[in-house]
């Protein structure tokens, strides 16, 4: 449902540091424009999303509940009282390897995504719920201790997307998957982003990851917000344009902003974030 000035759409983001923008200026960016339900002063990707909607002439009331290194199980078990209310949209992001102790294991993810979806549907049967499938981590790919060591950088994101897709397909209360990790892969394939931050960044390309080669960089979080914006609102991310305000404020050049907007548009066209049958 589109948001109008008369009826703001209530949206909640649940996740961890991948949602709040750790290790980048995005972390506390425009924190006063969103509601941090934990009172930590986080702006994060939700604040980027909020600004994008304002630039598009839309009205969204944006809230977030995030905590570093946590899972959906944690949010359901320890934080449900903070968000157990009616929402129009919810975006949920699981731990970066699905399980902190058993990388690639989706069992808790599937169980607690379902419990959270049921909670939100009890409050509003029409709520739109999306899962945000995250990106490949270079530290999990290029370092010997990594679960995806020796595989192409794209492999982790593909595996995560398949896991998220199965969770969504198995639960009629979940409306779709936002393919962020696949957008990272596309940025690499289209030479917008460098695939390996350990060997330096190619001229004219961006580094999607922070200094720890784990979290996203400002560019990566900007792409995340673009994917959220396109998936939730149905608007073309390219409509934000080269002069988009957040890019200007965060030091992203007009050319880089345009390139990342185009990546988001193409990925959403290739893998729509909303299931057609729902």
Rg (CA), the chain: 17
pLDDT surpasses 50 at 277:
no
pLDDT digits (tens, 9 = 90+) for 194-203: 999 999 999 9
- Examine residue 3 and state whether it is found in any structural domain, yes or no: no
Residues 6+ apart with CB under 8 A from 150: none
Task: Give the distance, in angstroms, between the CA of residue 217 and the centroid of all CA atoms in the same chain.
Answer: 13
pLDDT surpasses 50 at 192:
yes
- Examine residue 127 and state whether it is found in any structural domain, yes or no: yes
- Examine residue 170 and state whether it is found in any structural domain, yes or no: yes
Token digits of residue 269 = 């066209």
The band of 275, judged by pLDDT with boundaries at 50, 70 and 90, is low
Structural domains counted in the chain: 1
Compute the distance between CA of residue 170 and CA of residue 70 in angstroms, rounded to an integer. Answer: 23
Compute the distance between CA of residue 61 and CA of residue 201 in angstroms, rounded to an integer. Answer: 37
What average pLDDT does the structure give for the chain?
96
Query: Which CATH number does the domain housing residue 19 bear?
Result: 3.40.50.1110
The band of 134, judged by pLDDT with boundaries at 50, 70 and 90, is very high
Provide the domain limits for residue 91: 9-270
CB-side exposure of 122: number of CA atoms within 13 Å? 9
- Examine residue 156 and state whether it is found in any structural domain, yes or no: yes
pLDDT digits (tens, 9 = 90+) for 214-261: 999 999 999 999 999 999 999 999 999 999 999 999 999 999 999 999
What percent of the chain shows pLDDT beyond 90? 95
Compute the distance between CA of residue 91 and CA of residue 25 in angstroms, rounded to an integer. Answer: 22
Task: Give the distance, in angstroms, between the CA of residue 145 and the centroid of all CA atoms in the same chain.
Answer: 26
pLDDT digits (tens, 9 = 90+) for 60-102: 999 999 999 999 999 999 999 999 999 999 999 999 999 999 9
CB-side exposure of 49: number of CA atoms within 13 Å? 32
- Examine residue 218 and state whether it is found in any structural domain, yes or no: yes
pLDDT surpasses 50 at 152:
yes
Token digits of residue 111 = 């169980």
């Amino acid at each position: 449902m589109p948001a109008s000035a008369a009826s703001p759409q209530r949206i909640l983001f649940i996740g961890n540091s991948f949602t709040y923008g750790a290790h980048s200026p995005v972390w506390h960016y425009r924190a006063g424009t969103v509601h941090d339900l934990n009172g930590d002063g986080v702006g994060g990707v939700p604040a980027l999303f909020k600004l994008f909607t304002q630039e598009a002439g839309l009205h969204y009331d944006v809230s977030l509940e995030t905590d570093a290194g946590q899972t959906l199980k944690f949010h359901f078990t320890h934080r449900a009282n903070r968000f157990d209310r009616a929402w129009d949209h919810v975006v949920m992001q699981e731990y970066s390897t699905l399980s902190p102790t058993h990388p690639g294991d989706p069992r808790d993810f599937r169980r607690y995504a379902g419990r959270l979806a049921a909670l939100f549907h009890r409050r509003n049967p029409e709520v739109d719920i999306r899962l945000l499938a995250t990106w490949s981590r270079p530290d999990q790919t290029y370092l010997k201790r990594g679960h995806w060591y020796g595989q192409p950088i794209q492999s982790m994101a593909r595996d995560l997307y398949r896991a998220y897709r199965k969770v969504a397909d198995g639960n009629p209360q979940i409306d779709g998957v936002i393919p962020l990790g696949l957008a990272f892969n596309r940025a690499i394939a289209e030479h917008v982003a460098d695939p390996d931050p350990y060997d330096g960044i190619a001229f004219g390309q961006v580094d999607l990851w922070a200094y720890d080669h784990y979290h996203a960089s400002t560019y990566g979080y900007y792409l995340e917000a673009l994917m959220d914006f396109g998936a939730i609102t149905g608007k073309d991310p390219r409509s934000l344009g080269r002069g988009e305000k957040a890019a200007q404020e965060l030091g992203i050049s007009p050319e880089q902003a345009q390139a990342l907007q185009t990546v988001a548009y193409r990925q959403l066209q290739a893998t729509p974030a909303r299931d057609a049958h729902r």
